[in-house]
Structure 1
């Protein structure tokens, strides 16, 4: 690296959607290394907005191809904890993808983790789902933020 160049911290995005987290981090000086998003239309938008980021389709299968990053961001699916849903919680097919995401986080060991979900996570299964999320995060020893939408 030339002396005039500085290291730009890297970010990886799980459940990337159309790149809201990614855009914010890039505006703060980060570079998006990779994005994982299952929806084809969203991936098309991501490819247009972030041509430098490697695209991946599924959190259940992408790990071997992901590279370490400084920060992992993501808003894991909320349908199963939303007060508007059936409240299957972390046992639900969609919200349960949280565990696949945390396997990625544990494997790549980023310095920071930023997660987002809906306020229904707090009350899902009388708070036990939020407790599970916290208990899953603690041993990872990443600096984390759990925000609500």
Structure 2
């Protein structure tokens, strides 16, 4: 199991950065709805405007861009390290979806529905089948080489 985690670490990292990009991309609209931030935290209207522009818009967008660049960097590394590009793609996407699901529920208070829970179960089950098939394929290849 540890070798699988090391082999696919770039896929998981790319998926985590993709989820981070989505998280920070949604942050400006969510932050602007917070009552503590919309009531004004500076003495003048101009100062409030520039602070809001900086902290509620610019910083999350910069973090989103950084996360997306790192997503592509680690995804390309994942493609180089795995034998099958499908494995890297599926693991990256699944990590992205699962982390986005968790972050959305915990941070943005998105509703967890039966449909989203079933979807998460399907993703995890699909990953299990994919990893199991990869291991069986490796065992079969080793068996063929030994005979």
TM-score of the two chains, using structure 2 as the length reference: 0.30
Q: Report which of the two has the higher share of helix.
A: 2
Q: Report which of the two has the higher share of strand.
A: 1
**Structure showing greater Rg:** 2
